[in-house]
Amino acid sequence: MNALHGTRDLVRLILRVDRVRLPAWMAGVTLFLLGSVASFPAAYDTAAERQARAALMDNPATVILTGPGYGREDYTYGAMVANEMGGMTAALVALMSVLLVVRHTRHEEERGRAELVRAAVVGRHAPLAAALLTVFAADVVLGLVLGLGLPVVLPELSVGGSLLFAAGLSAVGVVFAALAGVTAQLMEHGRAASGLAAALLAAAYALRGAGDLGDGTLSWLSPIGWAQRTRSYVDGRWWPLSLALVLTALLVVTAFLLRSRRDEGAGLVRGRPGRATAAPWLSGPFALALRLRRGPLTGWTVGFVLFGAFVGAIAEQAAEFAADNELAQRMLAQNGQAGSAETVLATYLGLMALVSTGFALQSVAALRAEETTGRLDPLLGGSPLSRGGWMLSNLAVTLVGSGTVLGSGGLSAGLVHATNSGEPWEAARLTLAALAHLPAVWVLAGLAAALFGVLPAAGGLGWLVLAGSVFVGMFGPLLRLPDWVADLSPFTHTPMLPTGDPHPVSLLALTAVAALLTTVGVLAFRRRDTA
Amino acid sequence: MTRPTAIAVSGLTKNFGTTRALDGLDLTVRSGEVHGFLGPNGAGKTTTIRILLGLLRADGGRTRLLDGHPWHDATELHRRVAYVPGDVTLWPGLSGGEVIDLLGRLRGGIDPARKEELLEKFALDPRKKARSYSKGNRQKVGLIAALASEAELLVLDEPTSGLDPLMEETFRECVRRQQREGRTVLLSSHVLSEVEALCDRVTIVREGSTIESGSLSELRHLTRVSVSAELARVPTGLDELPGVHDLELDGTELRCEVDTPALDGLLRRLTEAGVRGLTSQPPSLEELFLRHYDHGPLDTSHRGAAR
Ligand SMILES: Nc1ncnc2c1ncn2[C@@H]1O[C@H](COP(=O)(O)OP(=O)(O)O)[C@@H](O)[C@H]1O
Ligand SMILES: [Mg+2]
């Protein structure tokens, strides 16, 4: 039988199964890019403002996060889009491609469904071929949408430049789809396969960052670097994308070769075995909660250390830029003197607090997941663990964990800023300034805990409130929202340190609200049925 | 009959919205016995068990677990109770060995020798991460954690689903040993033969209420065996035998259903005619319900209870 037999049917199956997921991903990426680009004229109306922005792009931290900065001498909208949006969007497209390919290859196989499919007269290579074809096509379609959409949302962008820029994004997606096709053969589990591909994506991003900082050689080793080296909108050239085509072909061939060498369900890398017995410390509900949150907590903390380092690195330059930009001034004005590094830091620490709430809400949401998956039943029903004991142990990990995440962001920003400014105490000052927002984070965690107890099905409301708080925090000053609307967000009531006053009374009040909400949640959970 | 009761449930009711899951269920389990809790899917077994474990609140009726109240005294009682759900789910990132230890430590310690023995008996690799366990292996993790505990009452909700027949036999051995050690076991199942193999007494439920309860021999009258035989001569007088139903006779080939108490009489007649071949099959639970209860008053008085 032909090894590719049935590929077409499988492509149809994938399109059917992912009829929502696929368009949702593409719409999400489109919204991210076109939405950001559409807002450029509001912030950088004049060539002078764009040129001021270009000066900011010179900072090493910014170069690592964005791109090589072609056309910085004449920072047109196009140069701005390519430099500031290219890397991030490419990474997003690559992530989409990785997750989709693994989902339809290794995940499918892991769940045993692929075996069913193969029993129904489908060639050995058909599932991999179908997943790759579908995702390649999705990348190309997405590229066309973006390439044609960019000149629509910002007419200053040329069609030719936009198509080249978007082709670079598609190329990165295609390369990483093929790479995921390989990792899906290597690893036994879907999570490990997408994890490995995502780690390589992060490495590719870092590689081009290092290259862009230096003489650019290292960037030529990264597919994202190739896309950026098309110099779109500046003096565009297509040939770097041929590297992506060659690499894709190599990866696809490798994936199929590996596939023919392994059994159904097996990986070429065997999963690392776990412990035969539990570590001595893994005893009791708090230790269990900590063990289960360890992965996310580590991930968030690492993320915040990097975020903080970036903030610390750009603070002084951003302050200079803000002094000349009206929009930036309006955003910063409430936090102190626009144009001082401290004001910039205070603003960023506030933003960090909002983002770190994501960790807190995710942790509280895990309570509900424990319940609905049934993992809670043997704990509460078959051991002397009480409901209150279980919930409070988990919430304790959430509250302390969100402090760790936020505090490490502040500390990291502080250390970098202390080095730049030569004032060692800045490290401690900024750590405390970040932690001053913690009571507001706790209020949202408490709200989520209360929902878990009282209205477990409505757990998503916590995220809605966070989204509202982000909106108020980011756009409140721009839109001149009335005070009472701003007051609804707990983050309005935390002091913007290091510049503002530390309002100890509001911090105590917020903490009390958080404690009250948590108590309501625990009491309600002790009274209700478990799912 | 002065042995203390481990579980006493009477008139238990529970609604989920408009669905009546339990409708006056009774269940009595004596200390030291293996009690079968038998009923088709959706009968309310899991709901009853989850009420007994304080995971759900009863809407009405009386429940005692050991000598306490399942909801109010939950934590105290759970020192003495071990539980295996029908579908064991585990934390994907933990290994089976970690989960067994963790659950054991929550109850205040685990006997390592006993754990090792059970791991070996059930042929479970404790180093594997839970995300790579099959359904049967996850079930084994739950069973080992419960069987290795010192609990005096074991509550097992359809525990053998997903186990292969060899492991089912291992499971049966373990349950018998638990009983010899003086523990009480409540074993829910929808498979009659499993309950027959293990249990001293049985409670049969359907659509949220109890329809029979007693020792297996008391319930013998409920069971009817399918017999098919190939005979040397054409038998006579079979249709007048009491307890023989649905008789089909095709020359020397015979097929019929017979009440268990009447089995002896039938076999005597058959040997008279010379038996060349004989197979008999115990009834499945579904057949049992079809035969004995489908035309009973229960069927019309309970609406909308079970799927
Ligand atoms: N959480 C729930 N919500 C709504 N209905 C439920 C819920 N749990 C059980 N039921 C219903 O209650 C009845 C009894 O279910 P269950 O106790 O699981 O039966 P069994 O364990 O005997 O198969 C079924 O009709 C089931 O659909
Ligand atoms: Mg059940």
User: With an 8 Å Cβ cutoff, is B132 touching chain A?
Assistant: yes
Retrieve residue A109's tokens.
Answer: 């196989």
So what's the pLDDT on residue B296? Answer: 45
Residue A493 lies in a domain: yes
Domain boundary (A243, A260, A277) is at: A260
SS (H, E, C) A149-217: HHHHHCCCCCHHHHHHHHHHHHHHHHHHHHHHHHHHHHCCCHHHHHHHHHHHHHHHHHHHHHHHHCCCC
Is the CB–ligand 1 distance for residue B243 below 6 Å? Answer: no
Helix (H) or strand (E) segment spanning residue B16: strand B5-16
A256, A289: one domain: no
Q: What is the pLDDT of residues A139-176, one digit of tens each?
A: 999 999 999 999 999 999 999 999 999 999 999 999 99
**DSSP, residue by residue, A378-446:** HHHHHSS--HHHHHHHHHHHHHHHHHHHHHHHHHHHHHHHHHHHT-TTHHHHHHHHHHTTHHHHHHHHH
Task: Provide CB contacts within 8 A for A199, sequence distance 6+.
Answer: none
- Cβ of A378 and B88 within 8 Å? yes
- Cβ of A377 and B97 within 8 Å? no
User: With an 8 Å Cβ cutoff, is A381 touching chain B?
Assistant: yes
Please check whether residue B35 is in contact with residue B199, taking contact to mean a CB–CB distance below 8 angstroms.
yes
Given phi > 0 = left and psi -120 to 50 = alpha, else beta, which region is B93?
Answer: alpha
Return the residue in A383, A391, A392, A528 with the most chain B beta carbons within 10 A, the one to mutate for interface testing.
A383
Instruction: Name the residue facing B127 among A275, A292, A373 (closest C-beta).
Output: A275
| d(CA B200, nearest CA chain A) in Å | 24
In the numeric block, the tokens 């997606």 are attached to: A173
Q: What is the pLDDT of residues B39-50, one digit of tens each?
A: 888 999 999 999
Pairwise CA distance, residues B148 & B178, whole Å: 10
**Distance from Cα B47 to the centre of ligand 1, integer Å:** 6
Residue A270 lies in a domain: no
Determine the residue type at A199. Answer: A
- Where b means 16+ CB within 10 Å and e means fewer, A395-433 reads bebbbebbbbbbbbbbbbbbbbbbebeeeeebbebbbbb
A477, A364: one domain: yes
Q: Which of residues 71-130 of B touch A (CB under 8 A)?
A: 74-76, 78-79, 81-85, 87-91, 93-99, 101-103, 105-108, 126-129
Number of domains within chain A: 2
Retrieve residue A60's tokens.
Answer: 């090493």
- Cβ of B85 and A377 within 8 Å? yes
Q: What is the pLDDT of residues A216-243, one digit of tens each?
A: 889 999 999 999 999 999 999 999 999 9
A236, A369: one domain: no
A189, A304: one domain: no
Q: In the 8-state DSSP scheme, what is residue A55?
A: H
Pairwise CA distance, residues A363 & A249, whole Å: 41
Pocket test for ligand 1, best of B9, B16, B286 (most atoms within 8 A of CB): B16
Pairwise CA distance, residues A190 & B36, whole Å: 41
Q: Give the confidence band of B196 by pLDDT, cuts at 50, 70, 90.
A: confident
Retrieve residue A240's tokens.
Answer: 């770097």
Peptide bond into A490 cis (omega under 30): no
**Distance from Cα A182 to the centre of ligand 2, integer Å:** 42
Atom of ligand 1 nearest to the CA of B157: 21
Return the residue in B14, B78, B90 with the most chain A beta carbons within 10 A, the one to mutate for interface testing.
B78
Residue A268 lies in a domain: no
Q: If DSSP codes are grouped into helix, strand and coil, which group holds residue B187?
A: strand
Provide the 10 A C-beta neighbour count for residue A41.
14
Is the CB–ligand 1 distance for residue B140 below 6 Å? Answer: no
Retrieve residue A497's tokens.
Answer: 């340190």
- Cβ of A386 and B75 within 8 Å? yes
A517, A428: one domain: yes
Return the residue in B103, B161, B188 with the most chain A beta carbons within 10 A, the one to mutate for interface testing.
B103
The CATH code of the domain at B224-282 is 3.30.70
A201, A340: one domain: no
Pairwise CA distance, residues A24 & A45, whole Å: 32
Identify each DSSP E strand in B164-298 by its residue range.
184-189, 201-206, 209-215, 224-231, 244-250, 253-259, 275-281
Domain boundary (A260, A295, A329) is at: A260
Instruction: Name the residue facing A375 among B91, B98, B128 (closest C-beta).
Output: B91
User: With an 8 Å Cβ cutoff, is A386 touching chain B?
Assistant: yes
- Cβ of B126 and A276 within 8 Å? yes
The closest alpha carbon to A525, from B76, B54, B80, belongs to: B54
Strands B275-281 and B224-231: antiparallel
Residue B279, φ and ψ in degrees, nearest 5? -130, 145
The closest alpha carbon to B177, from B154, B204, B201, B145, belongs to: B154
Intervals of CATH 3.30.70 along chain B: 224-282
What is Dmax (Cα atoms) for chain B?
68
Task: Provide CB contacts within 8 A for A22, sequence distance 6+.
Answer: A15, A100, A138
A193, A77: one domain: yes
* Four-residue CA torsion sign, A54, A59, A65, A68: positive
A497, A350: one domain: yes
User: With an 8 Å Cβ cutoff, is A295 touching chain B?
Assistant: yes
- Cβ of B131 and A189 within 8 Å? yes
Please, what CATH class does the domain formed by B5-219 belong to? Answer: alpha beta
Q: If DSSP codes are grouped into helix, strand and coil, which group holds residue B200?
A: coil
Q: In the 8-state DSSP scheme, what is residue B95?
A: B
Pairwise CA distance, residues B5 & B25, whole Å: 17
In the numeric block, the tokens 């870092």 are attached to: A206
A248, A331: one domain: no
**Distance from Cα A372 to the centre of ligand 1, integer Å:** 15
**Distance from Cα B25 to the centre of ligand 2, integer Å:** 15
Residue A339 lies in a domain: yes
Retrieve residue A529's tokens.
Answer: 């049925």
Residue A272 lies in a domain: no
A328, A463: one domain: yes
A254, A320: one domain: no
Residue A3 lies in a domain: no
Intervals of CATH 3.40.50.300 along chain B: 5-219
* Four-residue CA torsion sign, A147, A151, A154, A156: positive
A183, A252: one domain: yes
Residue A384 lies in a domain: yes
Residues in B touching A276 (Cβ below 8 Å): 95, 97, 126-127
Q: How many CB pairs under 8 A join A and B?
A: 122
Q: If DSSP codes are grouped into helix, strand and coil, which group holds residue A22?
A: helix
Q: In the 8-state DSSP scheme, what is residue B12?
A: E
Residues in B touching A289 (Cβ below 8 Å): none
Pairwise CA distance, residues A264 & A124, whole Å: 9
Pocket test for ligand 1, best of B12, B14, B19 (most atoms within 8 A of CB): B19
Ordered per-residue pLDDT tens for chain A, 531 residues:
578 888 998 999 999 999 999 999 999 999 999 988 998 888 888 888 888 888 888 777 788 888 999 999 999 999 999 999 999 999 999 999 999 999 999 888 877 665 566 666 678 899 999 999 999 999 999 999 999 999 999 999 999 999 999 999 999 999 999 999 999 999 888 888 999 999 999 999 989 988 998 888 899 999 999 999 999 999 999 999 999 999 999 999 999 999 998 877 777 777 678 898 999 999 899 999 999 999 999 999 999 999 999 888 888 877 777 777 666 666 666 666 656 788 888 888 998 999 999 999 999 999 999 999 999 999 999 899 999 999 999 999 999 999 999 999 999 999 999 998 888 898 999 999 999 999 999 999 999 999 999 999 888 899 999 988 888 877 776 677 788 888 889 998 888 877 777 788 999 999 999 999 999 999 999 999 998
| CA count, 13 A, side-chain hemisphere, A408 | 17
**Distance from Cα A455 to the centre of ligand 1, integer Å:** 21
| Closest residue by CA, ligand 1 atom 24 | B42
Q: What is the pLDDT of residues B211-238, one digit of tens each?
A: 889 887 777 666 778 889 998 988 888 8
Range of the domain at A148: 8-260
Is the CB–ligand 1 distance for residue B21 below 6 Å? Answer: yes
Burial class from Cβ neighbours inside 10 Å (0-12, 13-18, 19+) for residue B12 reads buried
Q: What is the pLDDT of residues B151-175, one digit of tens each?
A: 999 999 999 888 888 899 999 999 9
